[in-house]
C-alpha cells in the first residue's frame, strides 16, 4: 500500500445504520444549511404563483372563524365560556392548524420527495423537520392575528384576562410539533407501500378536529356520561386536547386548568410517538425506493 493511501483522511463516510433507534443528531446539525434551504423552499413555493401570496395565511383562519361563528355560535348556539367568539375560535384554530399542517406534510414525506431521495444522500429526517419548522412561520403570522383581535377587545374593555399558564406556551408548541412529527412519520412510512392509507388518513384528520375542543369548550362535556363512560375523560385521551385546553386557559382564562397529569400524559404520548416513528422511519428508509 502506498504512503499516500495510508495518509488519506476521508471527510464523509457513508455507512449503514446499526440500530433502528439510531438518530445521528450531529449529522443533522452538519446538514443544517440544507435544512434551512428546504425551509425557505417550502415557504416560497407554497404561495409562489398566487395573487395574494402569504396573505392567505391570514385570510384562511379569518374565514374559518367567521364560518364557525355563523354555524356553531349562531345556528347551533354552542357557548364559548363567556369568551368573545372570534377570540375563542381563533385561539383553537391557530393551534390546530399548526398541528394539522405539520401532520399533513410529514405524513407525505417519502412519497412527495422520492425524486430527491433517489438522487442524493442526506439525513432523511431533514425533510419532516423542515416541514415542522417552516410551518412555524405560518403559525407565527396567524398568532399575530390572534394578538391583534385580542388587543381590539382589550381596547373596548371586553378582553378576557390571561394567567400565568400562558408561560407554558413554548412547551405547548413543542408538544404540538412533536405529536405531529411522530404521528406523521409513522403514516409516511406506511404510505410508501399502501397509498390508500393517505386517503383514509386525510379523512381521519378531519374527524380528529371535531374530537378536539376547537369549536366548543371542554366544559360542555364535563360531567356527561355516555354508555357509562365519562365523555370528558375520553376526550382528554386525545393527546391534542390537553395542549389546546391549556393554551385557551392560559391565553383566554377559559374554563379550568385541565391538570398537570393530562399534560404529562400528552408529553409521554409525544415521546412514544417520536420513538416509534423513528424506529419505523429508519426501517422503511433502507428499502423504500424499491416500493415507492
Q: pLDDT per residue over 100-112, tens digit each? A: 988 888 887 777 7
**What is the torsional sign of CA 31, 33, 39, 45?**
negative
What residues contact residue 215 under an 8 Å CB cut-off, 6+ apart? Answer: 68, 72, 78, 89, 92
**Residue where the block lists cell 442526506:** 122
> In 170-248, where do the E strands start and end?
225-226, 229-230
pTM score: 0.83
Percent of the chain with pLDDT strictly greater than 90: 22
The mean pLDDT of the chain is 81
Q: Is the pLDDT of residue 268 over 90?
A: yes
Cα–Cα nearest to 213, from 156, 185, 252, 164: 252
Query: Is the per-residue pLDDT at 154 higher than 90?
Result: no
| Cβ atoms within 10 Å of 240's Cβ, excluding its own | 25
Would you call 110 exposed, middle or buried from its count of C-beta atoms within 10 A (0-12, 13-18, 19+)?
buried
- Cell (9 digits) for 36: 434551512
The pLDDT of 247-270, averaged and rounded, is: 87
- For the cut 50, the answer to whether the pLDDT of residue 2 exceeds it is no
At 68 the pLDDT is 92
Alpha-carbon distance values, 202 to 149, 199, 208 (Å)? 31, 5, 10
Percent of the chain with pLDDT over 70: 83
Of 252, 256, 241, 263, whose CA–CA distance to 89 is shortest?
252
* Region of poorest pLDDT, from 18-22, 210-214, 269-273: 18-22
Q: Which pLDDT score, from 0 to 100, does residue 102 have?
A: 87
Judged by DSSP in three states, 94 sits in: helix
Residue 239's beta-bridge partner residues?
Answer: none
User: 239 and 177 in contact (C-beta within 8 Å)?
Assistant: no
- pLDDT score recorded for residue 174: 93
* Confidence at residue 292, expressed as pLDDT on a 0 to 100 scale: 53
- Residue 96 is predicted with a pLDDT of 92
Residue 81 has pLDDT above 50, yes or no: yes
Rg of the chain over CA atoms, in angstroms?
22
Backbone angles phi, psi at 226, to 5 degrees: -130, 125
Amino acid at each position: 500500500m502506498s504512503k499516500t493511501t495510508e495518509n488519506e483522511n476521508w471527510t464523509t463516510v457513508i455507512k449503514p445504520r446499526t440500530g433502528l433507534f439510531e438518530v445521528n443528531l450531529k449529522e443533522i446539525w452538519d446538514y443544517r444549511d440544507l435544512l434551512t434551504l428546504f425551509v425557505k423552499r417550502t415557504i416560497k413555493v407554497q404561495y409562489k404563483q398566487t395573487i395574494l401570496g402569504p396573505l392567505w395565511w391570514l385570510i384562511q383562519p379569518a374565514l374559518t372563524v367567521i364560518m364557525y361563528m355563523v354555524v356553531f355560535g349562531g345556528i347551533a348556539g354552542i357557548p364559548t365560556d363567556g369568551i368573545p367568539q372570534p377570540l375563542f375560535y381563533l385561539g383553537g384554530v391557530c393551534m390546530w392548524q399548526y398541528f394539522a399542517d405539520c401532520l399533513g406534510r410529514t405524513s407525505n414525506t417519502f412519497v412527495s420527495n422520492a425524486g430527491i431521495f433517489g438522487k442524493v444522500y442526506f439525513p432523511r429526517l431533514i425533510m419532516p423537520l423542515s416541514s415542522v419548522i417552516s410551518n412555524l412561520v405560518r403559525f407565527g403570522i396567524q398568532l399575530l392575528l390572534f394578538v391583534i383581535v385580542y388587543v381590539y377587545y382589550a381596547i373596548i374593555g371586553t378582553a378576557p384576562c390571561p394567567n400565568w399558564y400562558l408561560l407554558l406556551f413554548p412547551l405547548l408548541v413543542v408538544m404540538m410539533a412533536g405529536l405531529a412529527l411522530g404521528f406523521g412519520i409513522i403514516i409516511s412510512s406506511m404510505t410508501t407501500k399502501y397509498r390508500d392509507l393517505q386517503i383514509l388518513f386525510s379523512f381521519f384528520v378531519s374527524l380528529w378536529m371535531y374530537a378536539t375542543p376547537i369549536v366548543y369548550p371542554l366544559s360542555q362535556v364535563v360531567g356527561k356520561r355516555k354508555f357509562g363512560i365519562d365523555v370528558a375523560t375520553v376526550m382528554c385521551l386525545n393527546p391534542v386536547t390537553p395542549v389546546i385546553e391549556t393554551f385557551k386557559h392560559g391565553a383566554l382564562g377559559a374554563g379550568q386548568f385541565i391538570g398537570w397529569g393530562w399534560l404529562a400524559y400528552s408529553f409521554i404520548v409525544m415521546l412514544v410517538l417520536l420513538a416509534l416513528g423513528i424506529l419505523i422511519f429508519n426501517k422503511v428508509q433502507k428499502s423504500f425506493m424499491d416500493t415507492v
